[in-house]
Structure 1
Amino acid sequence: MGTCSEYIKNVFPSIDDDLKQYVEGVLQNGAEDFEDSEEVYEAVGEVLQEVSTDKTEEDIRNICNELLNMLKPHKKKESNGSMKVLNAPIHLGSMVDSNEGNVEDIKSIWVMQRDDSLKVDAKKLEKAQAKLQEKQDKRTKEVKVVAPPKLQTATASQVTSKKESKLESKGNNRTQDIRIENFDVAYGDRVLLQGADLTLACGRRYGLVGRNGLGKSTLLRMISGGQLRIPSHISILHVEQEVVGDDTLALDSVLECDTVRQDLLNKEKQISAAINAGSTDPELNTQLSEIYAQLQNIEADKAPAKASIILNGLGFTPEMQQQATRTFSGGWRMRLALARALFSRPDLLLLDEPTNMLDIKAIIWLENYLQNWPTTLLVVSHDRNFLDTVPTDILHLHSQRIEAYRGNYEQFEKTKTEKLKNQQREYEAQMQQRQHVQEFIDRFRYNANRAALVQSKIKMLEKLPELKPIVKESEVVLKLPDTEPLSPPILQLDEVSFRYNQERVIFSNVNIGATMDSRICIVGDNGAGKTTLLKIIMGILSPTSGMRHVHRNLKFGYFSQHHVDQLDMNVNSVELLQQTYPGKPIEEYRRQLGSFGVSGDLALQTVSSLSGGQKSRVAFARMCMGSPNFLVLDEPTNHLDIETIEALGKAIQKYTGGVILVSHDERLIRMVCTELWICGNGSVKSIEGGFDEYRRIVEAELESAAQPK
């Protein structure tokens, strides 16, 4: 160190003693850590520049290089070509990447001399590579191999504690709470959840929310399929697939779910048959008595009534309950699957969009029924009113993790907003503190009297937890096409009737009309003829009697869930629009998709790989590319997330054309509709009082149906 001190004094004769001691202290403390002269310059270069009036930056850098050589004499030897001694493992690939311009550092490891005769002529090499590429291109053209599509599958992994594993292996784990800790879920190459935790307390009702495509439905399948492990004694039922249609009656299909009751009844039949056949075995009478006692304990005689109440609540009339399951459509079989789950009461019930296949009356009944659910419930839903009514807790899936909030969706929104504000304030306060400390360090960095204080401030900065800026989820914006005004009359049905055959009348003597300002919602029970009415309005079906009057320039845009299901799943979204509207620039297709939130790489993914909500947005983009001036929307909210439903409502409010909507989403109806048509009992009527009046009518009907006859 003495050599450095003398060198500094000789090069900077006018240097202040305090500054000289400060520089020497920095060099002495950092001697082991300095790797090159650049680091020495960063440590003391600016101080030396200030005390020198006749030296350039280059001079100072050379001086710092000399100081490094004095501190680490072996560095000079290494740079002169001697063998470098490695004191730790290195990775040659990464060293090459970071030392592209400094071959000596790499060469000193293992190459002492280079034989120039072994060099390859660059021009010859380039020529040879070009010929090789030409041959490969020719082969590719001759034999075009189509790679099989890569199957995307969901995978999961988790960490389980030794304590839980021991309890599980011994069969002593009797907890009813479910904890899935530190788990990952991926779909193909895409990570959906990483290091996530999920706790479900027994008896609480959880609503799982989050944007489309983040993995909510995948998570339910991972739990029900066993890829994410939970205590083996906990029974799980995931309502995902419809009931298989056969000759089993709807009521019996539900009763079969109670396997204990069913087994006892089967044994009772066998023993009774044996006794009636003349068996004198006294043991049979004893067994029969035990079976009757067990049936009485589980209240088996009340099971048909319980099953009937559930089926009735979900829209099955007494006549429908006695029909074979094969006579029902897919939507009604999904209701049957839901009825079976509600009747069997598993320890953990998983519901994925249960309101999608229900009308408003059934949704209101289900909301009331689930409020008294005795076991654990985990439901994925985008029905805002349902999430405000049923859950006791909300699980928010975002940023590859799950955050838990107490309360319903409305409370969750308030808490989340306040939490984000607090995090933003904390981040801004820390940034202000960091800036204040950094200003002090920059001001007194070269002040010898404050060197110790500066060092302590630097250490304090390093110890501060690094807060990341708050990243808010981007707002969803949907843009419906602009329209030109049309002079009335626009649309009118006069004395319209429709029947599928001579016996089945859907409705009769319908007199309704719509304008370019209309925001009409059609409500009614499933099967009441809502979709039939839409098809008559658009001219897809002709009325049995009566007249339909439509403006000659009226151009309908029709959206239904069937259109989503019928999208070509083997192409990407841009190609899908190209098929329907050929001949336009690619930018126009991408701009159209972007106005419905399908942008970037998402627009180039195959439609089959998109989530249900993303497919709906693609269907919207395709519908609106034809520039309709009157929208007919049949259940447009199925599979859309809450943010997109909100965006759809705002887009409808701004739309300058007419809108007729069939929906069971109460929030959307309240948000956009100014007129309500009730479809049912063979008629279509407009009611005063809007949705509040309709809900009052439905609740009165449910209350009346629940009264004992």
Structure 2
Amino acid sequence: MAVCGEYIRSQFPTIDDDLYQYVEGILDSSKEDFEDGDEIYEAIGEVLHEVADKPENEVRKICEKLLEMLKDANGEKDGSNKRKKNGVNKVLNAPVHLGSMAATLEAQVEQIKSIWVTTRDDAMKVDAKKLEKAEAKLQQKQEKRVGNESAANRNTPSMSQGIETASASQMTSKKDSRLETKGGSNRTQDIRIENFDVAYGDRVLLQGADLTLAFGRRYGLVGRNGLGKTTLLRMISANHLRIPSHIRVLHVEQEVAGDETSALESVLGCDQERSTLLSREAELQAAIEKEGSSGAGDSLGEELAKVYEAMRLAEVDKAPARASAILSGLGFSVERQAWPTKAFSGGWRMRLALARALFSKPDLLLLDEPTNMLDIKAILWLEKYLQNWPTTLLVVSHDRNFLDTVPTDILYLRGQKIESYRGNYDQFSKTKTERERNQQREFEAQQAKRAHVQEFIDRFRYNANRASSVQSKIKMLEKLPELKPMEKESEVTLRFPEVESLSPPILQLNEVSFRYEGVADNSYIFTGVNLTATLQSRICIVGENGAGKTTLLKIITGTLSPTQGTVHVHRNLKFGYFSQHHVDQLDMRVCSVELLQNHFPGKPVEEYRRMLGSFGVSGDLALQTINSLSGGQKSRVAFALMCAAMPNFLVLDEPTNHLDIESIEALGKALNAYQGGVILVSHDERLIRMVCKELWVCGNGSVHCMEGGFDEYRKIIEKELEA
């Protein structure tokens, strides 16, 4: 090993002691196992590339030389030469008894843990402390390299709070590590995460799962609430699951911090290359003005010309227009694009975070429910924009129309695994149904065959003439693969309480106008509103964000009083109001049963469980703390809390924000079966089409009922987007 050590020092004079001992330890512990130079390259090639920036072929030659030195040290080379020179053949002194050898081998099988891996003596292992120090240095260098990537990645907030109780583990191999080789040619943009586990607390969400993301494809991640979709995105973005370090990942999860930077400049600031080129251009311009026509000025001019060429290739001049177009599509007017980021509410800052992500174009973009913060017009724009997304997209969404429009593939979480399907959600639904039907048919056919064969065995078990046939049938049964029946996911059912009918008039708005007093903009949000509703009403209110939809709901429920006009409400009308922030206002420290007890004391526990069971919160789920529930499960608890007061008119503001597709479908059916009135603010096109019979459009200072319903409204929006 001394000769190998001197050779490594001569080829890599800058190698530090820790890395040198790490490499030497690997060579020493595995010197008898290496069969060719490629195996040595797999073991230490990555470390050698980190020490010195040598081409791959040169490092491979060094590894070949190390292999020859190791063989010389073992005496294999000399011994083989002697045998060749002397021509000596080894003669057995006694015959070999193969039977006894087989018995000996069989006795040793128990000592072998795997065909491929055998245990070694601890003395042959690498020093753990040295290995840890060497790997820590490698990690520091890797983090330093990653730190030089775009500002979009660096400005992404830490995910530590969101995954403080989550964990991930992944089996890796030497082949995986070669993807990270600095001097290697493997710079693929495809992502393969194999055999990984994800847990949240004591609960295992994914086990032995595989995830493959091909570059340039758009993946929709779907599955029931609470299965770990959001947790998986956080694990990927926080680098808890291994992906190649050259792939830039951006997860849109937290809103942009508010400061004096304008919305437009905040988006432009994501492009680090643009910022660097503009800064260098300004420095060179100032230096040239200072140097004048001297020789130094000529060299500066040449460098400035190179900067201009780089700016042309990077299309720096087109960046402001592209950023402005993205902001405009997400609802930022030209005037608002000049506002400082601190002037926007949380919802608008989330839109700004989405705009920054779309502008920076990371290699892998992770979106978690991007439509939650958008109105219908912005959703239609985003759908169209993402259809031409150039890199890889992984999006969690429960908007059925969005999933039918954007994804090229669907990833389905079920049974702690990820199933991959080609096509949009509609194609996925058909393929999944057919696959489940075929699986069930195959299981039933096998069960019928088993029963038929078993009947033959039972009938002729004690018949000596049929003994050979019976044994043959028994062996056939043993060889049959064990198929499992298709486990259907439990159907989601939501049930609103039964209510008594009321005689009209139920709800009337007469010449209602409203404005907020004491604010800078004292103009009316809407004026002259004349609308009516009954217990048979299924009304949806649509309009751009900020048009006054939520304000109108608060006037209807009596939370706000109109500035002008009157609201007539039946004296026995009882509203159930579900606000956008209803879920966030729940007491997260208690379980669902305790929450209902605190708000409606005096009822038996069975009654609280019945209320929760009406919205799919049953069993142990009702006894978990609300903080541990998924977003959709919290929404169901909020529904149960709202309905515990037995309302006969539901006013729902964005109720689908955290619900999965099956729950949204169940909500639509439940609202259709409900005997009371419904006024709904939603951007989920499928729910609107399922439930609503009347469309109120809020915008341009008024609220009016639109003839033609949602189809007519969508046509108007599409014309505006085309213009």
CA contact (8 A) 2:179 2:244 kept: no
Matched, 1:641 2:660: yes
Matched, 1:343 2:359: yes
Matched, 1:163 2:179: no
Cα drift, residue 278 of structure 1: 4.9
Task: Map 1:513-532 onto structure 2 (within 5 A).
Answer: 513-532=532-551
CA deviations over 1:11-59 (Å, ceiling 9, x no partner): xxxxxxxxxxxxxxxxxxxxxxxxxxxxxxxxxxxxxxxxxxxxxxxxx
Cα drift, residue 284 of structure 1: 2.6
Measure the CA separation in 2 of the matches of 1:284 and 1:196: 56
Cα drift, residue 500 of structure 1: 1.1
Instruction: Name the counterpart of 2:631.
Output: 612
Cα drift, residue 285 of structure 1: 2.3
Measure the CA separation in 2 of the matches of 1:335 and 1:164: 37
Measure the CA separation in 2 of the matches of 1:451 and 1:418: 42
Matched, 1:543 2:562: yes
In structure 2, which of residues 557, 571, 578 is the aligned counterpart of residue 559 of structure 1?
578
Letter in 1 for 2:424: N
Matched, 1:667 2:680: no
Instruction: Name the counterpart of 1:206.
Output: 219
- Greater shift after overlay, 499-508 or 237-246? 499-508
Measure the CA separation in 2 of the matches of 1:244 and 1:277: 39
- Counterparts in 2 of 1:88 and 1:318: CA distance versus 1, 3 Å: closer
Measure the CA separation in 1 of the matches of 2:236 and 2:220: 15
CA deviations over 1:176-204 (Å, ceiling 9, x no partner): 11111111111111100011111111111
CA contact (8 A) 2:374 2:545 kept: yes
Cα drift, residue 161 of structure 1: 3.4
Cα drift, residue 169 of structure 1: 3.1
Letter in 2 for 1:474: S
Measure the CA separation in 1 of the matches of 2:109 and 2:360: 64
Letter in 1 for 2:689: R
SS, match of residue 546 in structure 1: strand
Letter in 1 for 2:628: S
- Structure 1 runs of 4+ aligned residues shifted over 6 Å read none
Cα drift, residue 597 of structure 1: 0.6
Letter in 2 for 1:457: K
CA deviations over 1:574-611 (Å, ceiling 9, x no partner): 00111110111001111111110111111111110111
CA contact (8 A) 1:523 1:679 kept: yes
Matched, 1:219 2:232: yes
Instruction: Name the counterpart of 2:477.
Output: 461
Measure the CA separation in 1 of the matches of 2:691 and 2:440: 34
Instruction: Name the counterpart of 1:583.
Output: 602
Matched, 1:471 2:490: no
Matched, 1:234 2:250: no
Instruction: Name the counterpart of 2:198.
Output: 185
Measure the CA separation in 2 of the matches of 1:289 and 1:245: 37
Measure the CA separation in 1 of the matches of 2:191 and 2:579: 38
SS, match of residue 382 in structure 1: coil
In structure 2, which of residues 466, 469, 472 is the aligned counterpart of residue 450 of structure 1?
466
* Residue ranges of structure 2 left out of the alignment (5+ in a row): 1-107, 111-162
CA deviations over 1:539-564 (Å, ceiling 9, x no partner): 11000010110000000000022111
Measure the CA separation in 1 of the matches of 2:476 and 2:568: 78
SS, match of residue 602 in structure 1: helix
Instruction: Name the counterpart of 2:257.
Output: 244
SS, match of residue 477 in structure 1: coil
Matched, 1:404 2:420: yes
Matched, 1:485 2:501: yes
**Structure with max Cα Rg:** 1
CA contact (8 A) 1:152 1:188 kept: no
TM-score normalised per structure 2:
0.76
- Greater shift after overlay, 614-623 or 259-268? 259-268
Measure the CA separation in 1 of the matches of 2:584 and 2:523: 29
Cα drift, residue 163 of structure 1: 1.9
* Residue ranges of structure 1 left out of the alignment (5+ in a row): 1-86, 90-150, 705-709
Measure the CA separation in 2 of the matches of 1:304 and 1:409: 35
CA deviations over 1:618-657 (Å, ceiling 9, x no partner): 0000000100000000000001000000000000000000
SS, match of residue 356 in structure 1: helix
Letter in 2 for 1:700: K
CA deviations over 1:211-269 (Å, ceiling 9, x no partner): 00000011111111101111111111111111000000000000011110111111122
SS, match of residue 527 in structure 1: coil
TM-score normalised per structure 1:
0.77
Measure the CA separation in 1 of the matches of 2:698 and 2:638: 26
When the two chains are superposed, the root-mean-square deviation of aligned CA atoms in Å is 1.5
Measure the CA separation in 1 of the matches of 2:183 and 2:640: 54
Measure the CA separation in 2 of the matches of 1:267 and 1:551: 70
CA contact (8 A) 2:508 2:531 kept: yes
Instruction: Name the counterpart of 2:44.
Output: none
Task: Map 1:65-104 onto structure 2 (within 5 A).
Answer: none
Cα drift, residue 289 of structure 1: 1.8
Instruction: Name the counterpart of 2:139.
Output: none
Cα drift, residue 277 of structure 1: 4.3
Measure the CA separation in 1 of the matches of 2:427 and 2:183: 39
In the alignment of these two chains, the number of paired residues is 557
Matched, 1:508 2:537: no
CA contact (8 A) 2:695 2:706 kept: yes
Instruction: Name the counterpart of 1:262.
Output: 275
